[in-house]
Amino acid sequence: INSREPQLGERIGRRIIFFPLPLQGHINPMLQLANILHSIGFSITIIHTKLNSPNPTNYPHFTFHQILSEFDEYSDILSLLTMLNEKCVEPFKQALSELLGDKSGDPIGCLISDAILYFTSDVAKSFNLPRIVLRTGGVASFLTFAAFPVLLQKGYLPIQDSRLEEPIIELPPLRVKDLPVIKTSQPEKLYSLLHNMIQETKSSSGLIWNTFEELEQPSLTKLRQDFPIPIFPIGPFHKHIASSSSSLIPEDQSSISWLDKQANSSVVYVSFGSIASIEEKDFLEIAQGLESSKHPFLWVVRPGLIRGADWLEPLPQDFLDLLNGRGHIVKWAPQVEVLVHRAVGAFWTHNGWNSTLESICEGVPMICMPCFTDQLVNARYVSDVWGVGLQLENGNLERGEIEKAIQKVMVEKEGEEIRERVLCLKEKASICLRPGGSSYESLKSLKNYISLF
């Protein structure tokens, strides 16, 4: 590090304000980023909603500021995202005004907000406060969102069932079935949300990514052409420094004691993240597939995962009997600890971006079952670009196929290349964080950039 540059750990005398989207898959990376920036010398304030508010006692080194907005209830994700962008404007303005008016601590350098909270752009401008955007997903899926106007113009969108297998020439290797949509009766609402997200990202002072050059180089090159603002890929965030858990549901530690009793690389870890839900018939098919695979399994069945059921009621008794030995079900697991565990041999995932990165970082091959939005793009990259997993193709959730996928990824010769490639990516994810590595250097640039505000 150049001696005139601030050293990575030196205090900067600047406060950064963070505003996470109040959903688990967005809170985790935002708080991890706040921890990273705190560790390199910034003071941190987190503005948050009452909905899914983080636990301040886990972060005694941050200050927290809750905005007054009342919307605990929401019918679906799209409505929540729209409502946040409409109803938080005034309370967020009020919070910024209070924080900027307080002259007692370090001066505020900038706002870092989730890309989806596009309304923060105008508010930050009205205070002359630089706004940096954190996009918590991958670059490839973001570029797909940015291409929506073209995809609409060329007729790929809205998706027609007869064209699902058609390749999208503009975005290889995606097919129509991989387009990151949400099932909704109001697609216009989705297109408008994405349009605003893209526009207000372009107009921001910079863009931070939880990804690394070696993973998404071609996508990052395209991003730099299309978004001529400073871009900082500094991931994987959770591997920079240890941070407290930001889980909204208590993590069941019996996951680890149960794994301790299993053989090396023998367990299939199954989790579909914090939002996805599945039909009861698919849930039962998954259970049957796990049963016939003969592998031990650790399965996160979040309350709300199965549509129309409270929790495990749909499972037949002979499956429940397996839970006394070969299988273990929890409501929420300490996922990163689980993936690090020597007993885990494969991750059956919905390919949320955090889960995808966490699996890569621990060299765990994936069985991909994307549900909606960016997960569809992430899964295609996992299976067809990075070659670190297999995809259970849409409509193919059948016990025999599941059993085959598990065998292939975990045991068979055919899956050997998948297992080797994921170990190779794990190594790259580790190297990029060391001095001289791509994410380390990018973090240094980010630090210098924010220090100048």
Q: Least CB distance from residue 109 to ligand UDX, whole Å?
A: 26
Q: Which of 144, 210, 373, 383 binds ligand UDX (CB under 6 A)?
A: 373
332 scored as a contact of ligand UDX (CB under 6 A): yes
When the beta carbons of 362 and 403 are compared against ligand UDX, the nearer one is: 362
273 scored as a contact of ligand UDX (CB under 6 A): yes
Please say whether the beta carbons of 374 and 353 come within 8 A: yes
When the beta carbons of 130 and 363 are compared against ligand UDX, the nearer one is: 363
Quickly list DSSP for 139-201.
HHHHHHHHTHHHHHHTT--S--GGGTT-B-TTSTT-BGGGS-----S-HHHHHHHHHHHHHHH
**Which span sits near ligand UDX by CB under 6 A: 2-10, 269-277, 361-369, 427-435?**
269-277
Length in residues, the chain: 453
β-pair type (206-209, 231-233): parallel
Question: Phi first, then psi: what are they for 337, rounded to 5°?
Answer: -60, -35
271 scored as a contact of ligand UDX (CB under 6 A): yes
Q: Least CB distance from residue 337 to ligand UDX, whole Å?
A: 9
**Which span sits near ligand UDX by CB under 6 A: 53-61, 125-133, 289-297, 352-360?**
352-360
Site string for ligand UDX, 240-259 (x = CB under 6 A): -------x------------
333 scored as a contact of ligand UDX (CB under 6 A): yes
300 scored as a contact of ligand UDX (CB under 6 A): yes
Strands ordered across the beta sheet of 389-391: 327-330, 297-300, 267-271, 344-349, 366-368, 389-391
- Residues 6+ away with beta carbon under 8 Å from 20: 26, 27, 30, 31, 46, 48, 54, 114
d(CA 22, CA 27): 6
136 scored as a contact of ligand UDX (CB under 6 A): yes
Name the β-bridge partners of 327: 297
Question: Phi first, then psi: what are they for 400, rounded to 5°?
Answer: -65, -45
Q: Which two tokens stand for residue 251?
A: 């993590």
Q: Which of 176, 197, 275, 410 binds ligand UDX (CB under 6 A)?
A: 275
Please say whether the beta carbons of 73 and 45 come within 8 A: no
Q: Least CB distance from residue 185 to ligand UDX, whole Å?
A: 20
274 scored as a contact of ligand UDX (CB under 6 A): yes
Which residues 7-36 are close enough to bind ligand UDX by CB under 6 A? 23-26, 28
d(CA 286, CA 279): 11
When the beta carbons of 92 and 353 are compared against ligand UDX, the nearer one is: 353
Quickly list DSSP for 355-401.
HHHHHHHTT--EEE---STHHHHHHHIIIIIS--EEE--TT---HHH
Neighbours of 394 (CB within 10 A): 13
β-pair type (15-19, 108-114): parallel
When the beta carbons of 137 and 206 are compared against ligand UDX, the nearer one is: 137
Number of helices and strands (H, E) in the chain?
17, 13
When the beta carbons of 243 and 247 are compared against ligand UDX, the nearer one is: 247
Q: Least CB distance from residue 449 to ligand UDX, whole Å?
A: 25
Q: Least CB distance from residue 26 to ligand UDX, whole Å?
A: 6
Q: Which of 35, 210, 354, 439 binds ligand UDX (CB under 6 A)?
A: 354
How far out from the chain centre does Cα 367 lie? 17
Q: Least CB distance from residue 198 to ligand UDX, whole Å?
A: 16
* Integer CA distances (angstroms), 327 to 265, 282, 309, in order: 15, 18, 21
Kindly calculate the radius of gyration of the chain based on its CA atoms and give it in whole angstroms: 22
When the beta carbons of 349 and 438 are compared against ligand UDX, the nearer one is: 349
Query: Which residues in 20-126 belong to E strands, given as ranges?
Result: 43-48, 63-66, 108-114
374 scored as a contact of ligand UDX (CB under 6 A): yes
When the beta carbons of 187 and 304 are compared against ligand UDX, the nearer one is: 304
When the beta carbons of 30 and 129 are compared against ligand UDX, the nearer one is: 30
- What is the total count of residues that contact ligand UDX (CB under 6 A)? 26
Q: Which helix (H) or strand (E) holds 85?
A: helix 77-87
**Which span sits near ligand UDX by CB under 6 A: 12-20, 211-219, 259-267, 327-335?**
327-335
Q: Least CB distance from residue 403 to ligand UDX, whole Å?
A: 23
**Which span sits near ligand UDX by CB under 6 A: 46-54, 122-130, 198-206, 272-280?**
272-280
144 scored as a contact of ligand UDX (CB under 6 A): no
Site string for ligand UDX, 304-323 (x = CB under 6 A): --------------------
358 scored as a contact of ligand UDX (CB under 6 A): yes
Query: Which residues contact ligand UDX by CB under 6 A?
Result: 23-26, 28, 136-137, 247, 271, 273-276, 300, 332-333, 335-336, 352-355, 358, 373-375
